[in-house]
A = this chain, B = another copy of it.
Amino acid sequence: MKPRSTGCCHGSHVELPTLTAKLRKESLKITGPRQAILEAMRHHPHPLLIKELHALLAEGDCDLVTVYRSMKTLQKMGMVRRVEFGKGGSRFELVTDEGREHHHHLVCEACHAVMQLDDCLLLEVERRIEKASGFRSVTHRLEFFGICPACQKSSVPKP
């Protein structure tokens, strides 16, 4: 499980047409708000609070309520994933389906920086739990928390 920095505007983004195509395939309308939202999420690979996501949009692009409704819709069709850091509401991130499907995060409790961790190794644990408990379709939700290098030095973190 190697940490991997996921700052904005680094790697190859998903193309917007690729995303809207998925909407069309589900016969969902390609509206202004939805394009604005997807455009914003493309450039911000981290799990975003609804409030943060809304703040990224240009004034008047999309109502807060529409962001909520869009997350529900996009989640249902598998384009976004809900992530919970346990504070201040649900977060959402684009599903990039480039192989790095299921993954977890390492969050700094001081400045809230986020690193993405790849290679989850709990899948075999899930199988073991299924066998031992009789439960089926076992999944898991896992996040790591700690203090990032920057916040260790500067005892004045930037929350």
What is the interface of chain A, defined by CB distance below 8 A to chain B?
1-3, 84, 86, 106, 108, 115, 117, 121-122, 125-126, 128-130, 132-149, 152
Counting every copy of the chain, the complex holds 2
Q: Which residue of B lies closest to A136 (CB)?
A: B147
Within the assembled complex, what's the spacing in Å between the Cα atoms of A74 and B41?
Answer: 39
Q: Is the CB of B132 within 8 A of A3?
A: yes
User: A108 is contacted by which of B1, B125, B128, B135 (Cβ under 8 Å)?
Assistant: B135
- Known A3-B135, A106-B129, A115-B133; 19 more pairs at CB < 8 Å: A1-B125, A1-B128, A1-B132, A2-B132, A3-B129, A84-B86, A86-B141, A117-B129, A121-B125, A129-B144, A130-B146, A133-B146, A133-B148, A134-B149, A135-B148, A135-B149, A139-B146, A140-B145, A142-B142
